[in-house]
């Protein structure tokens, strides 16, 4: 039984690792952690399961006029997810999002160059544990899943400490397996379910990956 809130990302990751023990030292299996907060979760899971950890770069796509308002995400392999209902509600079209996509693609390339401290093996045929510190709308995970399908991975297991109930339901439709410790309602925001939820900076990501 998971008790909320989690103390911090490390504690949440340790609990998540215990829920994934059947994958301990599993061959051809690796953890991909969404940068940045997911890397701290991924490190704790990797330590429990004795599996390799690599960063996965995904960027949220915000409204062209209000960038904090998320409409979708783009993943490092180029897969792009846009919330169609939100696009219609805001009277936006694909071409309206092109400048945002271009800007976030450039930031994604910068982060990929910064974070790839160790060469990642080819993903085709691998079992992937895809993790983050939580999911509210799920857009970054939806883009990552589409990306990994294109990469022809064998299996995608989405592993999260916490997620919104409707997002969890959608993830179950898209991934091969989903392990989520808690799906509280009402959900509001990921950080609400942690006592300590500081911004994760580049230096911490690099230290964690090393």
Q: Is the pLDDT of residue 86 over 80?
A: yes
- DSSP letters, 112-141, are HHHH--SPPPP-TT-EEEEE-S-BSS-HHH
Q: Is the pLDDT of residue 83 over 80?
A: yes
> What CATH number is attached to the domain comprising 38?
3.40.50.2020
Which of 45, 50, 43 is CA-nearest to residue 26?
50
Residue 3 lies in a domain: no
Domain enclosing residue 68, as ranges: 60-113
* Number of structural domains in the chain: 2
> What CATH number is attached to the domain comprising 64?
3.30.1310
Residues 16 and 105 in one domain: no
Spatial separation of the C-alpha atoms in residues 126 and 105, rounded to whole Å: 25
Percent of the chain with pLDDT over 70: 100
Residues 45 and 136 in one domain: yes
Residue 119 lies in a domain: no
Name the strand (E) or helix (H) holding 34.
strand 29-34
Q: What is the pLDDT of residues 118-174, one digit of tens each?
A: 889 999 999 999 999 999 999 999 999 999 999 999 999 999 999 999 999 999 999
Residues 105 and 175 in one domain: no
Secondary-structure percent of the chain, ordered helix, strand, coil, rounded to 5: 40, 25, 35
Spatial separation of the C-alpha atoms in residues 54 and 116, rounded to whole Å: 8
pTM, full prediction? 0.95
Name the strand (E) or helix (H) holding 84.
helix 84-89
Measure the CA dihedral 15/77/81/54, to 10°: 10
Query: What pairs with residue 164 in β-bridges?
Result: none
């Amino acid at each position: 039984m998971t008790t909320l809130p989690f103390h911090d990302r490390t504690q949440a990751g340790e609990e998540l690792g215990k829920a994934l023990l059947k994958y301990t030292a599993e061959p051809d299996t690796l953890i991909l952690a969404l940068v940045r907060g997911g890397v701290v979760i991924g490190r704790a899971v990797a330590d429990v399961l004795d599996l390799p950890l690599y960063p996965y770069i995904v960027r949220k796509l915000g409204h062209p006029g209000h960038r904090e308002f998320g409409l979708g995400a783009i993943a490092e392999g180029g897969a792009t997810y846009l919330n169609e209902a939100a696009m219609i509600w805001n009277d936006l079209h694909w071409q309206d999002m092109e400048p945002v996509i271009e800007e976030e693609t450039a930031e994604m390339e910068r982060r990929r160059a910064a974070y790839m401290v160790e060469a990642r093996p080819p993903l085709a045929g691998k079992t992937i544990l895809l993790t983050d510190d939580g999911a509210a709308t799920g857009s970054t995970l939806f883009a990552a899943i589409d990306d990994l399908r294109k990469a022809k991975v064998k299996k995608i297991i989405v592993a999260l400490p916490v997620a919104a109930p409707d997002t969890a339901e959608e993830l179950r439709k898209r991934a091969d397996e989903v392990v989520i410790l808690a799906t509280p309602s009402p959900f509001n925001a990921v950080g609400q379910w942690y006592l300590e939820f500081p911004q994760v900076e580049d230096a911490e990501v690099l230290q964690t990956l090393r």
